[in-house]
Structure 1
Amino acid sequence: MSFIRFGSVIGFACVTAMPACGSSSSDGDSGPVVNPNPTSQLVTLNPDNTIPDQNFSGLGASGSISVSYFSDPVLGSTGFAYAWGNVEGTDDFLGVAGIHATSTPGDAITTGAVTYDGRYDLLRVRGNVEDQQSGQIELTATFNSGRVTGSADGLEVNGTFSGNVTAMGGTVTFDGVTANMEGVVGQDRVVGAFAGDDADGILIGGIYGAVTP
């Protein structure tokens, strides 16, 4: 399975307001000063699959400090996006994530288990330190248990689905943060976006996988 990243690092299709995508970090005076009450939420993306206006006050797309877009190289309408930034007029900062509304997982899973060759991409922000990480992950959707599971590089995926539908919920856990996840899962693909926070910062990102012929 192959992915394309539009930018300086290979992977999913990606556009970012930061200098690079992939595993990276920055600290010192290069990041914003944020308060100890970060928040995060899952959002519905715009019809063109961009992040809706969050009233960010940064310098990136829609005022965000960092924004990333990811798409299947074959089905460009299937993917996810995430962003974070300082909220205009406040000292608060917010992380958001969502999947493309046009994401196509294939038919609902009605029996057995489906395994996907996949990849994850996440951003962990603590104070003014930004760490971005991506990598390969094998995901498995099991009809009897109604679960989508997988783990890689400290990321634990615990998705849920039921009733012969493609909607997926659940959580992911990374670096001690449990983030809520929403997405779709089917006989061909799985895609999800997640957003969570703790006292130290936020966790946002997404997962994507496809059945390898």
Structure 2
Amino acid sequence: MIIEKLALHTANAVSLMPFYAEMLGLPVVSSEQGRFTVQAGWSELTFLELEQPPNEKHYYHFAFTIPENKLAEAKRWIEELVPIGTEAGQDISYSESWDSHSVYFEDPAGNILELIARHTMNNATDDSFDPKQHILCISEIGVPTGKVPSAVDQLAALGLMTYKTRNESFNPVGDDNGLMMVVETGRRWHFTDKTAECFPVRVTVQGVGELYLSENEHGLLIQNID
């Protein structure tokens, strides 16, 4: 599953752009009042300003794929810029079933970012880690919902199938290139103290189109807006 574009809400786009454009070094595609877009490999990441109640700060979890042999270098780079997440005294996550290593950190808006090196992918490089070249794509977006099985069924109807094993509370959909992490609302995100909450998101998937994902009393609502 190729995530071509991802659009997220933020309370203040102006204050967030320097983090992505200057600290992370992602090229700016466009910038205008209330929104900006940066290039992350083959994916575009957009933040849209939206007035939010003080008790409803929107935050998301998403991941950037990096070359499978560059996790150590990427970790050294990012921990010079921001604190990285820890869990049980560890600051690197390893998934045996996915054969991947990850580090986690947050942006100034509280979004949970992940750099993931997937060892199943043939993307190793001998070059020194450079975020402009080696942030290869957006490969995950968290999709919290109160009704995981229903959400997974809706995505399957669009041709987006379960990755690995179907689960009632945690059910990734897609493949190594890109995943929607369909998780039960209230589940704690790894390497943080934050729980998964439902906030609207737009994601453009190659071959499927632009999807607007939101939550209502019936669970996940998926609108194809192409």
Q: TM-score, normalised by structure 2?
A: 0.30
> If the length of structure 1 is used for normalisation, what is the TM-score?
0.31
Q: Looking at secondary structure, tell me which structure has more helix per residue.
A: 2
Task: Report which of the two has the higher share of strand.
Answer: 1
